[in-house]
Amino acid sequence: MNSAHGKSAGLSRLRALVPAALLALVLAAGCAEPVPAPLPQVQAVHASEGALHAPHAVVSSANEISSRVGAEVLRDGGNAVDAAIAVGFALAVTHPAAGNIGGGGFMIIRTPDGESTAMDFREKAPLAAHPEMFLDEEGEYSADIRHRSHVSVGVPGTVAGFELAHERYGTGDWARLVEPAVELARDGFPVMPGLARSLAGVLSSMEPYPASIDAFSKDGEPYEEGDVWVQPDLAASLERIRDQGRDGFYQGETARLLVDEMERGDGLITLEDLERYEAVEREPIQGTFRGLEVVSMPPPSSGGTALVQMLNILEGYDLAGMGHGSAAHLHHLAEAMRIAYRDRATHLADSDFWDVPVERLTSKEYAEELRAEIDPEAAGVSSVDDVEVTAEAEQTTHYSVIDADGMAVSVTYTLEQSYGSRITVPGGGFLLNNEMGDFNARLGLTTEGGLIGTEPNLARPEQRMLSSMTPTIVARDGELFAVVGTPGGRTIINTVLQVVVNLGAFDMDPEAAVAAPRIHHQWLPDRISLERALEGEALVTALEALGHEVTFRGGQGTVHSAFIDASNGERIGVADPRGSDAAAAGY
Ligand code: GLY
């Protein structure tokens, strides 16, 4: 896509700064310069309070301070990509469980003229990686090496990804976009209730890493709600990014500190790995579902491919006629999930290294074949002779942006597990991911516990590990409609699926589509998990009668999303009520 599409027109910048009525007067009078007017106030609505309706632009994220940072960038004339970058850096300070500069992720961008593109800033395996790197000295697979060690750290991608997005589609001054995060880290911010709980919960697992205890506690005591949390080392790292762009992270002081920590802990990342890291712009996955046009993330994420595959399968059924939340509805969802997760485990990996049959997997013809596998009266069987899957961490974060021109950005990024490897770079103040754990454990190693041993997603030098992240943008009749995505490990794809189905098949309004209870099936283990809101004897009995094993769980995902009301152009920000510090902000 031509980078010029990303640039906001001068008129839109004017619109962002001047109320509509005054702008009309100014233009009608033929004045060359707008009359200075007070900037509109940024409003925020917490996740527990419902949706935010804003006339111009909106941001929805896991943390109110970060949503406000993005809304201020928009209000001050930045476009949606600028705001997404500012929010991403701010979340690295305010939402450290998943917001990051030491991890990676994906961004889908839709321009006001309806073109879409995908930014891939997924972590890469270091040059020294190899398929047997998760084996211990006895040659046995070690979950600790794969997920809890310096070896589990992938080469971070976030800073390179944000810089690439900014170069191609941003309009604002880079330093202005990083500065709010610098200030939050340097001057501190009040700890919100969800963050206080989260920091208290993670502290014991940080004990092996003194720099993490230093950065994330008050001398070993958890921060409490309302404490002002200052992160001077992180502020210094962000200042280097503010002043030098990607070079302030992948070279110089920050790179040296990161590599020193790798050497201290026998990790694999070298200065060469950091210098070689490049984010990539890719063609997004495109699909349709009952009048909706869906754009999502291609490999190395499995998200967009599996999402479109499931939507294609489900399009063949009258879900609305079955009734939302009925056994029939959940059965058909679960059967589509079973099939798509089987194909995901078999075929999906980094397409720069492996031939992934995306076209076939996302075709309507293939979906028709797959529907023949689904018995409306009985659950399928996930064979243990086929591919098995690994239980996957559910910590990541998603945010959504729509600007005044109708440009939309959907970002999901992560450290893999909550707080990643728990390893903080001493002197750098930021956490390192443990994303190498998203590679398969070892060729041929499949277990009842759910390890997967297929070849495509094995660790190889510079390969990107398979992801489930599904940042997605939905249009209706060619017009921007919804920006969605979620954290949740392997549940991510199913969570996004259900929100899109709620919009397209059940015609739900945005708040209801996000709030509705969700389910998850991932081929193996062969069972459906239901959010507790669905607990009820009749439904469970009906699903069991169809042959499903049923389990229950707490909230599945947090879809911090944004929408446009086609009737009046209003922006609607929905912070998922499952997210404790989450908020939508806009103006
Ligand atoms: N680490 C979670 C994902 O990439 O899906």
Please give the Cα distance from 416 to 435 (Å, whole number).
Answer: 5
**Tens of pLDDT, residues 101-125:** 999 999 999 999 999 999 999 999 9
Expressed in angstroms and rounded, the spacing between residue 12 Cα and the centre of ligand 1 is 36
CA distance to 300, 339, 358, 437, 576, per residue, from 297 (Å): 8, 19, 11, 20, 21
Give nearest CA residue, ligand 1 atom 4. 467
What mean pLDDT value characterizes the chain?
93
Report domain extents, the chain: 1-38
* Of 111, 305, 396, 472, catalytic: 396
What does the pLDDT average to over 476-494? 97
CA 74 – ligand 1 centroid, Å: 29
Q: What is the DSSP letter of 389?
A: -
pLDDT of residue 386: 52
Task: Please identify, by atom number, the ligand 1 atom nearest to the C-alpha of residue 438.
Answer: 1
Query: What is the pLDDT, as a whole number, of residue 384?
Result: 55
Residue 536 reports pLDDT greater than 50: yes
User: Looking at 82-208, which runs of residues are DSSP E strands?
Assistant: 104-110, 116-121, 189-190
CA distance 451 to 164: 35
| Contact partners, residue 327, CB within 8 Å, separation at least 6 | 539, 542, 543, 545, 546
Ligand 1 atom at shortest distance from the alpha carbon of 437:
1
**Which residue's CA lies nearest to atom 1 of ligand 1?**
416
Whole-number Å distance, alpha carbon 102 to ligand 1 midpoint, is 14
> In testing the pocket of ligand 1, which one of 492, 493, 495, 522 has its CB within 8 Å of the most ligand atoms?
492
188: amino acid identity, one letter: G
Active site residue 288: no
122 neighbors 104 (Cβ within 8 angstroms): yes
Q: How far is the CA of 394 from the centre of ligand 1 (A)?
A: 8
Tell me, yes or no, if the pTM score tops 0.85: yes
Phi/psi at 15 (5° precision):
-60, -35
Q: Is the pLDDT assigned to residue 272 strictly greater than 50? A: yes
Q: 76-90, 225-239, 383-397, 563-577: which has the minimum mean pLDDT?
A: 383-397
Note whether 531 and 518 are within 8 A (CB). yes
Instruction: Tell me which residue of 408, 401, 410, 403 sits closest to 114, measured CA to CA.
Output: 408
> What is the mean predicted confidence (pLDDT) over 437-444?
92
Please write the tens of the pLDDT for every residue from 144-164. Answer: 999 999 999 999 999 999 999
Rounded CA-CA distance 415/418 in Å is 7
Distance of alpha carbon 154 from alpha carbon 397, whole angstroms: 18
Residue 5 has a pLDDT of 38
Give CA–CA dist 511/35, Å, rounded: 38
What is the DSSP pairing of strand 528-531 with strand 550-553?
parallel
Q: What does the radius of gyration of the chain's CA atoms come to, in whole angstroms?
A: 23
DSSP state of 534: G
Torsion sign across C-alpha atoms 70, 76, 78, 82: negative
Residue with CA closest to ligand 1 atom 3: 467
pLDDT at 394 over 60: no
Q: Find out whether 300 and 347 touch, Cβ atoms under 8 Å.
A: no
The answer to whether residue 391 scores a pLDDT higher than 70 is no
**Position in ligand 1 atom list of the atom nearest CA 490:** 5
pLDDT the model gives residue 444: 83
What one-character DSSP code corresponds to residue 435?
Answer: G
395 and 96 Cβ atoms separated by less than 8 Å: no
